[in-house]
Amino acid sequence: MNQYEVMYVIDAALEDSARNELIARFSELVKKNGGEIDRVDEWGKRRLAYAINYKTEGYYVLMYIKAPAELPKELERNFQISDKVLRSLIIRYEGEVPAKREPLKPYAAREAAPAAEAPAAEEAPAPAPAVEAPAVEEAPAAEPVDDERPESEAE
């Protein structure tokens, strides 16, 4: 069995019950076709980089599965059939399932974060002392070149 990372974006206008039902439907599809689900991460509602079908927000779901080679094609077919799925991507990868990471907070939530989370000024490292550049000695003025040379050296 191969390991896959499956990400799909659901229409954000769906109610919670319908969204949970859709996520459960795709999970059951994996199990019925001989796959195993390692983890399902719901990243939540996010703003899309560009409008898809005139929608600017989507609900992101990331799923790690182990499945036979035929399953991704069946999953893609079901994603395309469902008009509630805006986009999907299935990637095969090797190695261990990555550790669960928290998705980035929306920009508005980062702005509203209390100042206590910011590192205090006393914890910041002290700036390095300024280092003086070594003094550069000026070269002595060049002596004027005398164009009057003996004829033997002129050639």
Residue 24: φ, ψ to 5°: -65, -35
Q: Give this prediction's pTM.
A: 0.64
User: For 99-149, how does the pLDDT look when each residue is reduced to its tens digit (9 = 90+)?
Assistant: 776 656 666 666 666 655 555 555 555 555 566 656 666 666 666 666 666
β-pairing verdict for 36-52 and 55-67: antiparallel
As a whole number of angstroms, the distance between CA 107 and CA 120 comes to 22
β-pairing verdict for 2-11 and 85-93: antiparallel
Domain ranges of the chain: 2-96
User: For 1-35, how does the pLDDT look when each residue is reduced to its tens digit (9 = 90+)?
Assistant: 899 999 999 999 999 999 999 999 999 999 999 99
Give the type of residue at 125: P
Indicate the Cα dihedral angle 12, 16, 22, 24, nearest 10°. Answer: 140
- 2-96 CATH, one of 3.30.450.40, 3.30.420.480, 3.30.70.60, 1.10.150.20: 3.30.70.60
| H or E stretch at 60 | strand 55-67
